[in-house]
Amino acid sequence: MNRSVDITFADYCVAHRILEPVFASTLRGVRTQEFALGKAVARLNRRLQRAATIREIANELNWKEPVVYKYVRSAVKNGLVEFEEGTREKNVKRLLERLGDSGRFLPSPLRVLRDNAEIEDEVSFTDPFTGFRQTIRRRPS
């Protein structure tokens, strides 16, 4: 018996946080850790306003640097992140979020919010992994 279930946008945000890495990794055969790395790089790029170093990514994910190196190569190969062009002092490699198709399965909550005017401009939800309250705001057009 099929029954429809009404969910709030906050419910979608929680479900996206839990299910997106799993669905997306099965879609392209990419490991969940690679998606976590890609998301961390995107967060750091936005926060720092520049490419992120391996050490910064390791701190963001609470991983050891060798673990980050382990997944960087495959994340680059699978198009989730890319190395910043050019050379750096001490040959430091920095990573950027790969723009365009990054292998998403579900649309991001921000995209859903942007594309659906009937959803309120600001939505808060509790992150199921951290327990912290998160707020998503519609950007003015």
User: Rounded to an integer, what distance in angstroms lies between the CA atom of residue 106 and that of residue 102?
Assistant: 11
User: Rounded to an integer, what distance in angstroms lies between the CA atom of residue 78 and that of residue 24?
Assistant: 12
Q: Which of 138, 140, 130, 102 is nearest to 9 (CA)?
A: 138
Percent of the chain with pLDDT over 70: 88
Q: Which domains does the chain have, with CATH numbers?
A: 31-102 (1.10.10.10)
User: Is the four-CA dihedral 80, 98, 59, 130 of positive or negative sign?
Assistant: negative
pLDDT of 28 > 60? The answer is no
Q: What is the pLDDT of residues 46-100, one digit of tens each?
A: 899 999 999 999 999 999 999 999 999 988 888 889 998 877 777 778 999 886 5
